[in-house]
Structure 1
């Protein structure tokens, strides 16, 4: 709906999404907007308080809002009023998807549940994203993002001030994986709805998504509970049953972190051919002759002599020099970045060009999937102010005239935005 020139691939041009969201769960429609969908964010009177949550605050708006709401159009509707609900249903009548990103049953309590939506649009896909899902004992438990990672076992407390437990720096999985799983399901449901004429109601819990994203560790624990004659280790370890989790990789040698001359690298020569390539490239064929290892999946676990030898070798070159060696001699060696340093990495610069603050209010990362030969998909507008596009939506989509729009505004149906 925005008049801004499209940026990058617009794979979902023609897909219309009506979103009712509060805070982070609204991220489910961000990839859709990045890919060209028309996303209409329906906000309550006063707007979504996402603009004031978390940090940093960039020129009055939270980065959380600037990122999650980029490329969307905003209208404020008081869904407690009959007129507000009627406008909402008019929007739904022309939409492919309705996103409910709040506590379970939020739309249903306003008389706008799935049954009512299908009365005006039988093909509509309703997608509900919540913290703990629409069922289960935690259904109505209030929560925020880290709760889902803690529940899923992906983040644990660390010692803080005076030995008190503290939240560590970590990757936020649930609030990211939930929307991404949701996006895939939404598009699958839209395809089916266009084929059959019947929509459906999807739901995802961000806690479930965090657990599913970390499937290898939880499934590894489950497998470890099975009898020893059913589940073993790798042949390179003599079929030793390793403990779940990192499966002994903390003691790995040929698959391990090493300090370089100016930082760290991750060495990953667990295949014999890569190990041989490395030893030859650094002029240490003696290491290969002394420790040739197994053909596959051999980390030389627990070999402290070899680990010390490799530590001395890796300290002799910079990280960039090790990457050059890896490219030249077919050796898997990777740089070790942090959120503060990754922007300087040449691979990052090539693959993840910043979406600039001049356009979006803050420098932001692009959608990471691209069409070969085209510019990467990107948001085409800054995150909106509450109700910023109300008149445009009502006039251009629903055909309201100025007098009707003004009457709605006077009545408070459009809030005070």
Structure 2
């Protein structure tokens, strides 16, 4: 079976995480991805470690499978010519240079569409191509701070805390995928390409969803709530006799069953706790009662009881425990790939399960410049020309 995006060629000049994560997803779906790297240093994440495996950083490996790596000096005239040739035969360019950088090089969207009118270019920046911050660099940590995310993350009364993964980058990668697939559909219908303007800041603000909506309704800046929920009770961590467990009671009917499981069915009949709105108002009374009950059994015992009652719950796993979970294995979220230098390359799998066009893991995360010569030969350059390119620091 072929991938859903088989036949789509992506020229990826992005680095670090948001852009590479996006192009990896599209590569998993069958697209051909040519990763263009700086001719002297490559993607910065190649050096972001430890940990390393045979010189390859874990950070780089996590976002770059199903790609070919080509080195190219985009500041040289010959490098620009090669890049334009690639673009003329491609469908999508993904880039995350600072606003205006490619335009100064004569490689912006308006320049490149002269060579390929159907080109789709996804431009990822920290703050977007417009607005007063358009020229500022944007890193995930900065975006988490400025977007308001850190102001709502952390313990109540404690310091603001960033999310433990580069969530703004990941969300931006996902939003970029959505934009690219939408633009592909539009191009298939109209024959027209377009530029997609995606910013980390916009994506992170969008992801605030109900928290932002709450503020727009009541005008009150949300406070940090630790592991509690701003709109639902009980929806938090509880300490059991041997560790912590998350309980997420999503409606009144679930609360009635939850109260019965913990041995206090009367709680669900009391007006102060019967409905979520009341539980939210009276949570300072309710939570200690629930905490006392849950301390009486182990987290495994509670999980069996709560699962049987249909109450959403789960232990707080560390990463090792997560990968040992049989559900992770059953869903293919831990996978192995052949690699030319790493004997046992294990990677996080894809969450996309398409019945007709499944994702495929065709190519290992490429070595630096691994496919430069092969791509140039495919483009029609001979070995003598390629050697001159190397001597002249074009590649």
Q: Structure 1 length normalisation: TM-score?
A: 0.81
Post-superposition Cα deviations, 1:242-286, rounded to whole Å, max 9, x if no partner, equal 874579847975333211233222223352321222333344334
Give the match for residue 3 of structure 1: none
Question: Do the aligned partners of residues 100 and 250 (structure 1) sit closer, same or farther apart at CA in structure 2, a change above 3 Å counting?
Answer: closer
- In the TM superposition, residue 176 of structure 1 has moved relative to its aligned partner by 1.0
Post-superposition Cα deviations, 1:300-342, rounded to whole Å, max 9, x if no partner, equal 5435554333223212333233232233222232333344532
Q: Of 217, 235, 259, which aligns to 1:255?
A: 235
**Alignment gaps of 5+ in structure 1:** 1-7, 160-164, 226-241
Question: Do the aligned partners of residues 158 and 100 (structure 1) sit closer, same or farther apart at CA in structure 2, a change above 3 Å counting?
Answer: closer
Q: Kindly indicate whether residue 105 of structure 2 is the aligned counterpart of residue 114 of structure 1.
A: no
**After superposition, where does 1:224-373 map in structure 2 within 5 Å?**
224-225=218-219, 244-245=222-223, 249=229, 254-290=234-270, 293-295=273-275, 298-299=278-279, 301-304=281-284, 306-351=286-331, 353-356=333-336, 359=339, 362-372=345-355
Higher mean C-alpha displacement, 19-28 vs 384-393: 19-28
Question: Do the aligned partners of residues 184 and 243 (structure 1) sit closer, same or farther apart at CA in structure 2, a change above 3 Å counting?
Answer: closer
Aligned residues between the structures? 384
Equivalent position SS for 2:114: helix
- In the TM superposition, residue 197 of structure 1 has moved relative to its aligned partner by 1.5
Post-superposition Cα deviations, 1:198-256, rounded to whole Å, max 9, x if no partner, equal 1111111112211111132223212113xxxxxxxxxxxxxxxx874579847975333
Question: Do the aligned partners of residues 251 and 41 (structure 1) sit closer, same or farther apart at CA in structure 2, a change above 3 Å counting?
Answer: closer
Higher mean C-alpha displacement, 120-129 vs 386-395: 386-395
Equivalent position SS for 2:347: coil
Question: Do the aligned partners of residues 69 and 106 (structure 1) sit closer, same or farther apart at CA in structure 2, a change above 3 Å counting?
Answer: farther
- In the TM superposition, residue 391 of structure 1 has moved relative to its aligned partner by 1.8
Give the match for residue 235 of structure 1: none
- In the TM superposition, residue 134 of structure 1 has moved relative to its aligned partner by 1.6
**After superposition, where does 1:9-24 map in structure 2 within 5 Å?**
10-24=3-17
Question: Do the aligned partners of residues 59 and 399 (structure 1) sit closer, same or farther apart at CA in structure 2, a change above 3 Å counting?
Answer: same
**C-alpha separation in 2, matches of 1:291 and 1:322:** 26
**C-alpha separation in 1, matches of 2:229 and 2:181:** 38
CA contact (8 A) 2:12 2:35 kept: yes
Deviating above 6 A after TM superposition, structure 1's stretches of 4 or more consecutive aligned residues are: none
CA contact (8 A) 2:337 2:364 kept: no
Question: Do the aligned partners of residues 55 and 224 (structure 1) sit closer, same or farther apart at CA in structure 2, a change above 3 Å counting?
Answer: farther
Give the match for residue 45 of structure 2: 50
CA contact (8 A) 2:272 2:282 kept: no
**C-alpha separation in 1, matches of 2:264 and 2:128:** 56
CA RMSD, Structure 1 to Structure 2 (Å) = 3.1
Q: Of 188, 191, 195, which aligns to 2:185?
A: 191
Q: Kindly indicate whether residue 173 of structure 2 is the aligned counterpart of residue 179 of structure 1.
A: yes
